[in-house]
Amino acid sequence: MLSGCPTWPMAFAEQYQNDGCWLGETFGELLRQRATTYGEEIAIVSGERRISYAELDARVDRLVQGLYDLGIQAQDRVIVQLPNLPEFLEVCFALFRLGALPVFALPLHRKSEITYISEFSEAVAYIIADVDSGFDYRELALQVKANVPTLQHVIVVGKPGPFISLSDMYTEPVSQLREPSPSDIAFLQLSGGTTGLPKLIPRTHDDYIYSLRMSAEICLLDENTVYLAVLPIAHNYPLSSPGVLGTLYAGGRVVLARGASPDEVFPLISKEQVTITAVVPPVALIWLDAAGSRCPNLTSLQVLQVGGAKLSAEVARRVRSTLGCTLQQVFGMAEGLVNYTRLDDPEDIIVNTQGGPMSPYDEIRIVDDEDNDVELGIVGHLLTRGPYTIRGYYKAEEHNAKSFTTDGFYRTGDLASLNSSGYLVVEGRDKDQINRGGDKVAAEELENHILAHPGVHDVAVVAMPDEFLGERTCAFIIPHDSSLTFAEVKVFLRERGLASYKIPDRVEFIDTFPKTKVGKVSKKTLREIIIQKLSSLS
Ligand code: J2J
């Protein structure tokens, strides 16, 4: 087991095993077993490429050998930053079989994020696409490699430039390698973050495969399922809720889309007879508007999952009438807990709640500021523990003491209420994060970047309401002098290599910050100020 990864106390681990949550499977075995059962059935569709289960399994074996020959070993960390390509899944399964750990970066991450996670995880390799959405990842890799001494290899899907080509790494398997054990960490996922630096989430084969099994069951997946991956599959939601991995778990077919626009996605749904797909609320909104005017043929689509940020009841209500399919609300987190509305729930529940936990072993508490449980229906802080919720972030002892109770409940940072059927309604957040239509921005991380500008004396970042994304970021800045402009701040942050979704949507220059009674910056007042300003503008 990789050190620095808090895990479940023995009594819990034994219960999860004895009660059949953790079945002792690994991802490597799982793929082998599915290849035996589903052989020539298609596992992955990407453009004109169609890859069967047998072919996927064989290609993964060859890639395992190539990675091994390069020197990648069990427990090595490998940054994987790939768009929705079949190679994403091949690389993942190959690393899983080797016992090396993918560290999932989002395609929009740039020098700042990649350098940090490479350094922090002491990654030995970085796997990228050559160019995607007009961005050349090889240039990014050159910069990152120059700064991170542990990083020995950059492996490229496509034209390798100065690096190694992934396609040259599929080699005849010769070595007999020992596969990892089910309780080993399978990969590190990135947290949405609330702190200055992103946290890494260690997930085991056992716990993640359990979450796939439960998700596939709840979403009624089987070998007839066709799952369309629209969101970047590096994110936990399209990866596992039930996502691409849950679909492969169930023997279904994964169709990889490269974008979310109706022009691209609607014909693909019809062509590939997609049965289920997953989006964030702003994408749902675009699809609903487009479908209303275009009447596309979406008859195969049975389920539209919406999650990652709160979906308004008003938009939720339009899904069935406009797209002709069942809405499933998904409220999850890369740290673990995932809630789903069930497909046969009454429309009122589907529209007005964020669903119930997927496992009977999920423990949910809603508490007040002193950690006392509140009554049903009352809003409080959501705490959780269970068989697929982590007990701590990777190498983050100090932060873990704050983010987890002493008896192992994860403090989600969400404000929610619980109804008598065990379903949750998300009512807000007490974590210092902005949820920009599903993309999470940690206020402190952005504040630290803005503070590095020599013209900035102090800064506080808050969420401001937005009709389309739900929230956007507003940075209140106290400048050293009045010459600083918003444009300068944006250029500065881009040059620092910050992902574009973290660049503030608005900057307000201010002389002093409003303070709370104890003298801290009152972000609540700042949020009120910006709400008032926006409403006076409209
Ligand atoms: C309100 N807030 C939501 C929802 C997530 C499935 C689905 C989503 C994620 C995810 C995921 C929400 N309504 N329906 O990993 O497996 C906010 C909450 C939560 C945070 C987690 C999955 N669905 N959220 O979004 O790790 O604040 O995971 O704590 O990115 O997103 O973010 P993340």
- Is any atom of ligand 1 closer than 6 Å to the C-beta of 309? yes
pLDDT score, position 240: 98
Residue located nearest, by CA, to atom 32 of ligand 1: 333
CB 202 within 8 A of CB 188: yes
pLDDT confidence band for 166 (50 / 70 / 90) = very high
Same domain, 410 and 323: yes
Q: Has residue 251 been placed in a domain?
A: no
Instruction: Indicate whether 380 pLDDT > 90.
Output: yes
Same domain, 64 and 161: yes
Instruction: Indicate whether 293 pLDDT > 80.
Output: no
The CA 65 to ligand 1 mean position distance, Å, reads: 36
What is the mean predicted confidence (pLDDT) over 387-391?
A: 98
Containing structural domain, residue 471:
433-537
pLDDT confidence band for 538 (50 / 70 / 90) = confident
Q: Has residue 138 been placed in a domain?
A: yes
- Is any atom of ligand 1 closer than 6 Å to the C-beta of 355? no
What is the mean predicted confidence (pLDDT) over 473-478?
A: 98
pLDDT score, position 295: 74
Same domain, 264 and 390: yes
Would you tell me how many other CB atoms lie within 10 Å of the CB of residue 366?
Answer: 21
pLDDT score, position 308: 98
In this structure, of 35-49, 83-97, 166-180, the range with the lowest mean pLDDT score is 166-180
CATH of the domain at 479: 3.30.300.30
- Is any atom of ligand 1 closer than 6 Å to the C-beta of 440? yes
pLDDT digits (tens, 9 = 90+) for 66-110: 999 999 999 999 999 999 999 999 999 999 999 999 999 999 999
Q: Has residue 141 been placed in a domain?
A: yes
pLDDT confidence band for 292 (50 / 70 / 90) = confident
Same domain, 58 and 134: yes
Q: For the chain, how many structural domains are there in total?
A: 3
What is the mean predicted confidence (pLDDT) over 249-275?
A: 97
Pocket test for ligand 1, best of 333, 409, 410, 414 (most atoms within 8 A of CB): 333
Pocket test for ligand 1, best of 214, 237, 364 (most atoms within 8 A of CB): 237
Same domain, 188 and 332: no
pLDDT confidence band for 193 (50 / 70 / 90) = confident
Pocket test for ligand 1, best of 331, 388, 434, 436 (most atoms within 8 A of CB): 331
pLDDT confidence band for 170 (50 / 70 / 90) = very high
Question: For the chain, give me the number of helices (H) and strands (E)?
Answer: 17, 27
Q: Has residue 228 been placed in a domain?
A: no
429 CA closest ligand 1 atom index: 27
Residue located nearest, by CA, to atom 3 of ligand 1: 309
The CA 148 to ligand 1 mean position distance, Å, reads: 31
pLDDT score, position 158: 98
Same domain, 65 and 112: yes
Q: Has residue 92 been placed in a domain?
A: yes
Where among 413, 429, 445 does a domain terminate? 429
Same domain, 420 and 443: no
pLDDT confidence band for 174 (50 / 70 / 90) = confident
The CA 212 to ligand 1 mean position distance, Å, reads: 16
Q: Has residue 299 been placed in a domain?
A: yes
Q: Is 342 exposed, middle or buried (CB count within 10 Å of its CB: 0-12, 13-18, 19+)? A: middle
pLDDT score, position 195: 81
Same domain, 361 and 271: yes
For residue 382, the Cα-to-chain-centroid distance in whole angstroms is: 19
Where among 201, 231, 250 does a domain terminate? 201
> Could you report the predicted ipTM of this complex, rounded to two decimals?
1.00
What is the mean predicted confidence (pLDDT) over 182-206?
A: 94
Same domain, 527 and 398: no
The CA 485 to ligand 1 mean position distance, Å, reads: 34
CATH of the domain at 382: 3.40.50.12780
Where among 365, 397, 429 does a domain terminate? 429
The CA 241 to ligand 1 mean position distance, Å, reads: 11
pLDDT score, position 320: 96
Rounded distance between C-alpha atoms, residue 236 and residue 233, angstroms: 7
Same domain, 387 and 525: no
| Average model confidence (pLDDT) across the chain | 97
pTM of the model: 0.97
Token pair listed for 244: 């691409």
Which residue from 11, 1, 4 is spatially nearest to 385, judged by alpha carbons? 11
Same domain, 65 and 144: yes
Q: Has residue 215 been placed in a domain?
A: no
Same domain, 168 and 267: no
307 CA closest ligand 1 atom index: 14
pLDDT confidence band for 1 (50 / 70 / 90) = confident
What is the mean predicted confidence (pLDDT) over 238-259?
A: 97
Instruction: Indicate whether 471 pLDDT > 80.
Output: yes
